[in-house]
Structure 1
């Protein structure tokens, strides 16, 4: 989401600063040229917040136990040459996308590194990729290497003796059908590609495992997965596990004891210690899902373990890895990190610096040396998981929104995905760990700071959670609108449909007035002790999009897919009581009488069920406003920006 939101922000800034330029106008005007000059002079600097963010791709380098790469879901590719003590970004200036789904180093030439963009652990607000990049100087420089429409890339495997022979598992567009998905092979280092395994334009490849003893043998996991703003689909009869013994020229679907019919996400791992042994972790209906093992190279399979802890939220997890030395040891990643030493029958949990685990690389020369990726970043272990390196040294945090206060120097606030909220000074000489603190709320919400007293902070999270912090006393209390948990519910049954990222706004005219939104606009005048509904339902409320999320195998109702909500809200800074509301299903409403009545002013040209992401009322003229709209979650990457002057 980082690159799309940045584009919308910059576009809105250009329009705000250059009102003489029509949205559909031709040519260039003097104000536009002035804006370009202004933007060229802007330089970004780090505020020093170095807590790691989500990572779903990591790798190391055999023979170089201190060298590692991590791929973050928004911050590109990073490299460490000291065992995870320090990380440096190596993709900035080369990559067109920040989301990374796979990283692989050529064993025969560690200067050759491949990176696949687009994480294949598809959250509801995931960023798409733009294909594969290749480096021939260990990450110093990169060139684009094709597969631009591959969407999300789940795995890259490089031939152990030929750095130009590479395979890619491409899941494809997660928000719609496309043909550039499946397993691809390049024999010339990415200059050209062959699609060697393809099922349909809705089913892609999410995992690949290569037999290191015979690299002509590969196993590929194919998965039907698609997201919409209101649901996720995981699984179909097209999903399955495939094997090739001729380097990808031909493939055979594995059966022999594996679940048949509708199957969901699959992970696969060949044991380097015994290539006849292959593990698969499979999402499947009823009690058929779980850990499977073959001891004859995929001919016959037996189910060993079906514990729910390995299958929960399968679309986000489902990962399995074989120990390179011991054929009895296998790892399964989910919210926890698990190891089996009895061939996959029973598992022990291993503590990691952060939960929600997505990738693991184990050094083939020493299984005690490994790197793990999770929702807190990447961490290295030299002790088989008994201890790990820190994640407080990789500034890859994903922030949904940013707010500032009125102090001097001012502080900056945001909610970090799968972590806490954060407040950091815009400038400080203090140590980072002393300057940073959380302000309540949770991982996904907006933050609003009282302009009279920056100690008073309202912070949100999913399900309508809101807290009010008094930083002076360090007291935090819940001020949510309604005591209802959205977890496990369908949106149609909720009294108030709060989005994962629901707005919180303090009135620019009266800081005692605070707003938040569900399908309604809510207002408090007493610090959140009580709330008033001041609007009707301002969404389409299409009941076909308010059902349970997930299927056909697993349901997933945690709040991300709650739909038919007010996603953007503002009060005019020029006129008290002039209120704007935009919904995630494509409507814009305005109230000119402080919420007593509302009028639908949806611009002509907003596609149906698009998301109104931002409304920016003019600071100078109450009749003017900009509206930024996106529809990428329905596989439409075009930006939509509208302006009103009346």
Structure 2
């Protein structure tokens, strides 16, 4: 019947790195299975932003909580079921936030209430109830530890979850398994080189960049076939079309596979309000000129000599001002929420037909087009797109220079729907691709297969009987039999699956 709950008050902004915290977090307790709750405050800070709480299974009155205020994160301990709390340690390390900004996760050994673990950038361990701590597991076991599971009957068996995967010890941490046997890589943008066998490249979340062969020399592709290529973990990779041993990666490096040398080649050495970048900035070659490499910040740049010299080919293509999106909510008066030019170019698409035609999309919701290699730019944003609807992907048409497609990401506006637009007239008008009907559940597929098979049999039976399906308004309607008699007011709506007699149909009687 006794339940503890921890509340956070935080909000992610519409733009990257925009976030706000309130002080409405805290730790709550219910002794009636969750029907009523009481906030636990004695000994805890008054301005809690976030909290995590752990309970000792072998001593249910013992609790340890990670508590964050606007200033810092600390660990607190209670010996009376949360009625009163004291600072557990003066050591700030086990209370420090994980790399992604979350509080560390606390776990107490199910059999030994004084053995405590804190999962953070390092997994920390205390054997005296949280007073003193030592680094228990760090790299190469993983980075940013997210969770700890301790076997309830054998405390030597522990599983750690990190950004890279899970590792297990069966001897209390004396030795560990590997996460190299788990395909947990989170890749942002994948590119292939022109080598044979070809290799694939990408930035890899929390694990740097990676280049991997498409065929291993030992009969399999193993972790030994993965090599870092000096790009940022979130970044694009762009292999040189003329030299597959040269890889350009965001933000922004030139890597030579033969010498393992990496060189910084940013157009400008330092960020500023006039040269803005976020974690994922486009780097790509022209599909028509293998010497021409593009790099996007808030402005678009190009180089023809591998980054030794750069030319800026656009002004700042982002919004100068905007209406604050509604999901900022009560934080709209915060200084960091005020409108200013803060966006970046998030997607770039050189045309595969015209060298000077380049599409660019920004994270603050603009689509820009140049047809003269960057001398002039035109805002061709669809009217339905508003501020901070991120142009996540843009692609020039492969059959027509005036065609382009844009995928718009609105997750930071609390809109989880897909938004895909298409233009066939150079951005003058856009059509939004309609959402397809929701996917049917697995339980529905057997019935659908039976209906489709039944429809096939119906259509083929008609053909054997001499019935003539006639195309009418997109449907195939069987109207008359071979003797010219009308067939019992029966319609069949059929969809051609292929040539000849391959039909899928639903037969219907009216």
Question: Is TM (by shorter chain) over 0.5?
Answer: yes
Note the C-alpha offset of 1:257: 0.8
Counterparts of 1:532 and 1:582, CA distance in 2? 19
Counterparts of 1:286 and 1:238, CA distance in 2? 15
Contact 1:573 1:619 in 2 (8 A): yes
Contact 1:234 1:264 in 2 (8 A): no
Unaligned 5+ segments in structure 2 are 426-510
Q: Which residue of 2 aligns with 1:395?
A: 183
Q: Which of 123, 130, 136 is the equivalent residue of 1:337?
A: 123
Contact 2:350 2:357 in 1 (8 A): yes
Q: Which residue of 2 aligns with 1:72?
A: none
Contact 1:514 1:523 in 2 (8 A): yes
String of CA shifts for 1:467-506, please: whole Å, max 9, x gaps.
1122233332121222226xxxxxxx53411121110011
Counterparts of 1:337 and 1:370, CA distance in 2? 12
What pairs with 1:471-550 in structure 2 (closer than 5 Å)?
471-484=257-270, 494-542=273-321
Normalising to structure 2: TM-score of the pair? 0.75
Contact 2:192 2:198 in 1 (8 A): yes
Contact 1:616 1:626 in 2 (8 A): yes
2:406 aligned counterpart, secondary structure: strand
Unaligned 5+ segments in structure 1 are 1-215, 486-492
Note the C-alpha offset of 1:607: 3.1
2:84 aligned counterpart, secondary structure: coil
Q: Which residue of 2 aligns with 1:311?
A: 96
String of CA shifts for 1:113-146, please: whole Å, max 9, x gaps.
xxxxxxxxxxxxxxxxxxxxxxxxxxxxxxxxxx
Cα pair distance change 1:255/1:448, threshold 3 Å: same
1:633 aligned counterpart, secondary structure: helix
Q: Which residue of 1 aligns with 2:230?
A: 440
Contact 2:24 2:49 in 1 (8 A): no
Is the counterpart of residue 321 in structure 1 residue 82 in structure 2? no
Q: Which of 285, 297, 316 is the equivalent residue of 2:70?
A: 285
Contact 1:222 1:239 in 2 (8 A): yes
Cα pair distance change 1:605/1:285, threshold 3 Å: closer
String of CA shifts for 1:604-629, please: whole Å, max 9, x gaps.
22233201111111222211111111
Q: Which residue of 2 aligns with 1:44?
A: none
Counterparts of 1:250 and 1:615, CA distance in 2? 51
Note the C-alpha offset of 1:265: 1.5
String of CA shifts for 1:552-594, please: whole Å, max 9, x gaps.
9xx9x9xxxx950000002111111111110001101111111
Cα pair distance change 1:252/1:321, threshold 3 Å: same
Contact 1:588 1:602 in 2 (8 A): yes
Is the counterpart of residue 427 in structure 1 residue 215 in structure 2? yes
Contact 1:229 1:563 in 2 (8 A): no
String of CA shifts for 1:413-450, please: whole Å, max 9, x gaps.
11110012112223345342343222221210001111
Counterparts of 1:436 and 1:327, CA distance in 2? 42
Counterparts of 2:313 and 2:192, CA distance in 1? 27
Contact 1:266 1:318 in 2 (8 A): no
String of CA shifts for 1:488-544, please: whole Å, max 9, x gaps.
xxxxx5341112111001122222221111110011222112222211110014489
Q: Which residue of 2 aligns with 1:147?
A: none
2:385 aligned counterpart, secondary structure: coil
Note the C-alpha offset of 1:389: 0.7
Q: Which of 10, 20, 36 is the equivalent residue of 1:250?
A: 36
Length, aligned pairs only = 407
Note the C-alpha offset of 1:301: 0.5
Q: Which of 350, 354, 369 is the equivalent residue of 1:590?
A: 369
Note the C-alpha offset of 1:267: 0.8
Contact 2:348 2:359 in 1 (8 A): yes
Contact 2:229 2:247 in 1 (8 A): yes
Counterparts of 2:126 and 2:273, CA distance in 1? 41
Note the C-alpha offset of 1:354: 1.0
Counterparts of 1:359 and 1:614, CA distance in 2? 33
2:8 aligned counterpart, secondary structure: strand
Q: Which residue of 2 aligns with 1:272?
A: 57
Cα pair distance change 1:478/1:330, threshold 3 Å: same
Counterparts of 1:600 and 1:538, CA distance in 2? 9
Note the C-alpha offset of 1:387: 2.0
Q: Which residue of 1 aligns with 2:442?
A: none
Q: Which has the larger radius of gyration?
A: 2
Counterparts of 2:320 and 2:276, CA distance in 1? 10
1:342 aligned counterpart, secondary structure: coil
What pairs with 1:121-136 in structure 2 (closer than 5 Å)?
none
Q: Which of 71, 74, 83 is the equivalent residue of 1:299?
A: 83
Cα pair distance change 1:235/1:587, threshold 3 Å: closer
String of CA shifts for 1:157-188, please: whole Å, max 9, x gaps.
xxxxxxxxxxxxxxxxxxxxxxxxxxxxxxxx
Contact 2:21 2:70 in 1 (8 A): no
Counterparts of 2:20 and 2:368, CA distance in 1? 35
Is the counterpart of residue 366 in structure 1 residue 154 in structure 2? yes
Counterparts of 1:563 and 1:417, CA distance in 2? 24
Contact 2:208 2:231 in 1 (8 A): yes
